[in-house]
Structure 1
Amino acid sequence: MESTRSQHDGRRYAWRDLLQRWSDEWLDPVLHEQERAEPFPDEVREARWLGAAGATGEELGALERRLGTALPRSYREFLLTSNGWLNTTHGIDRILPVQEIGWARDLDPELITGWTGGPTDTAPRVSDARYFVYGEAQDSAALRPEYLPHTLTISHTADATDVYHLNPCVVTADREWEAWYLAHWLPGAVRYPSFWDLMKDAYESFRDEQ
């Protein structure tokens, strides 16, 4: 996992650098802004920043108490850098601020039912050999829908077809949660070992759209 550690605040992930590059490229009118359904607000263009001020420690503490769990480090550091975010790619409208984050079973029960088939679903479980594959060799259909009710919904798109989830049912050795990208054009989800890995890949996909 690529990471960096600030000498000043102890943060491991280079969110500010990544998000600033992302903002600058989204806001380049030659490359992208004219392709967006609506122009970015004036204050966003003037600030050259698609996010917000970072969440406070108190806000994150309140979120973790509401959820009943500690957040994985890469996602926590993202929220400390920017409490929410506008478009990552054309498929994701917003990454949610702390006030709107919640469990998928509460925010989108219809999505859960659509994937799990309800409480009587008896589909065979995907094997570890198929499931624990990341990168280009991954089969997006190798999803475990039984995890979905326990995932954290962290993004919003108006037509609800593309969404990011964090999955606490799969935790890496350094306590990162698996991250999912569910999309209308996928037979399942593209999964990553962490939110940081998901966002790096989303940035590369965004750049490929230019």
Structure 2
Amino acid sequence: MSDKRGQSDAWRELLQRWSDEWLDPVLHEQERTEPFPEDVRRTRWLGRAGASLDEVGALEDRLGTVLPASYRQFLLTSDGWLNTTSDVERLLSAHEVGWTQDLDPDLVAVWTDADGATGARIADEEYFVYGEAQDPVSTRPEYVPHTLKISYTPEAIEVYLLNPCVVSADGEWEAWFVAHWLPGVVRYQSFWDLMNDEYRRFRGGW
């Protein structure tokens, strides 16, 4: 996704495909405990209208940082989202997103001891491995307090975080998938990569 128009089109295509498949009663909607709201069923869209540039700018001002391009374009395409999978209730809208230490101090506490210690640091050659060769145990808990929480699920069964401590050459933040059943974290080089893998998981790829 090298340009803004390409990013916008790519997000719209992915999210529309995701919506259509979720709302197909034969494929996936029966996985929900209750039907999607009527307006969602009518519009065939699990998201919302895209955030405005001013709204995204206000979020960046509130956070004191510039958002990575793929996540920024997601918000401009859909300001929040219902159910990426049956275990993630929703992606937060621009006015709800916040630093994990503010939104979910309990999650931070799980990854640190009472003094904020996180154990021995994972070496770069173990940490900077992505894809199938990655070991979820090879993570850095010291990054958790600095992450951005972008999803909501009761009891934090599964959580999406963006990690500004690891930034690629093109400005993308590392994206984390955290789940109670994982021995660590599954990490991606961008939010776009995370969502594409979650779409594959939604379709039964895990």
TM-score, normalised with respect to structure 1: 0.94
Is the 8 Å Cα contact of residues 165 and 179 (structure 1) preserved in structure 2? yes
Name the amino acid aligned to 2:124: D
Alignment partner, residue 30 of structure 2: 34
Cα shift at 1:35: 1.3
1:204 aligns with 2:200: yes
Given that residues 5 and 14 in structure 1 are in contact (C-alpha distance below 8 angstroms), is that contact kept between their aligned partners in structure 2?
Answer: no
- 1:143 maps to 2:139: yes
Q: 1:58 and 2:54 equivalent?
A: yes
Task: Give, in whole Å, the separation in 1 of the partners of 2:12 and 2:33.
Answer: 26
* 2:98–2:150 Cα contact (<8 Å) kept: yes
Distance 1:203 1:4, change over 3 A: farther
Indicate whether 1:118 and 2:118 are aligned.
no
Q: Is the 8 A contact 1:5 1:13 kept in 2?
A: no
Question: Is this contact kept in 1: 2:112–2:118, CA < 8 A?
Answer: no
Residue identity in the other structure for 2:194: L
- Where do residues 151-170 of structure 1 align in structure 2 (5 Å cutoff)? 151-170=147-166
Mapped contact 2:23–2:44 kept (Cα < 8 A)? yes
Which 4+ residue blocks in structure 1 deviate beyond 3 angstroms? 9-13
Query: 2: distance between equivalents of 1:10 and 1:33?
Result: 30
Residues 137 and 177 of structure 1: is their aligned pair in 2 closer, same or farther, counting only changes over 3 Å?
A: same
Q: Which moved more, 1:71-80 or 1:29-38?
A: 29-38
Q: For 2:123 and 2:33, locate their aligned partners in 1 and report how far apart those are by CA, in whole Å.
A: 41
Q: Distance in 1 between matches of 2:15 and 2:114?
A: 38
Instruction: Confirm or deny: 8 A CA contact 1:92 1:155 kept in the other structure.
Output: yes
Alpha-carbon spacing, 1:38–1:116, altered in 2? closer, same or farther (3 Å): same
Distance 2:29 2:172 in 1: 33
- SS of 1:159 mapped into structure 2: helix
> What do residues 56-106 of structure 1 show as CA deviations (whole Å, max 9, x unaligned)?
000001000000000000000000000000000112110000111000000
Residue 12 of structure 1 and its aligned partner are, at CA, apart by 6.2
Secondary structure of 2:203's aligned partner: helix
Equivalent pair of 2:178/2:185 in contact (CA under 8 Å):
yes
Question: Taking structure 2 as the reference length, what is the TM-score of the superposition?
Answer: 0.96
Query: What SS does the corresponding residue of 2:137 show, helix, strand or coil?
Result: coil
Mapped to 2, the partners of 1:120 and 1:104 lie a distance apart of 14
Q: Specify every segment of 5 or more residues in structure 2 that has no aligned partner in the other structure, as ranges.
A: none
Aligned residue number for residue 177 of structure 1: 173
Q: Following the alignment from structure 1 to structure 2, what is the Cα–Cα distance between the partners of residues 111 and 97?
A: 20
2:97 corresponds, among 91, 101, 104, to 101
Give the partner amino acid of 1:112: V
- Label 1:11 to 1:136 Cα distance change in 2 as closer, same or farther (>3 A): closer
After superposition, the C-alpha distances for 1:113-166 in whole angstroms (9 at most, x for unaligned) are: 111113252611011011000000100011100000000000000221210000
* Counterparts of 1:198 and 1:48, CA distance in 2: 23
Is the Cα–Cα contact under 8 Å of residues 130 and 189 in structure 2 kept in the other structure? yes
- Deviation of 1:180 after TM superposition, in Å, equals 0.1
C-alpha separation in 2, matches of 1:88 and 1:205: 9
Give the structure with the larger helix fraction: 2
CA distance in 2, matches of 1:44, 1:102: 26
Equivalent runs, 1:63-74 vs 2, <5 Å: 63-74=59-70
Identity of aligned residues (%): 64
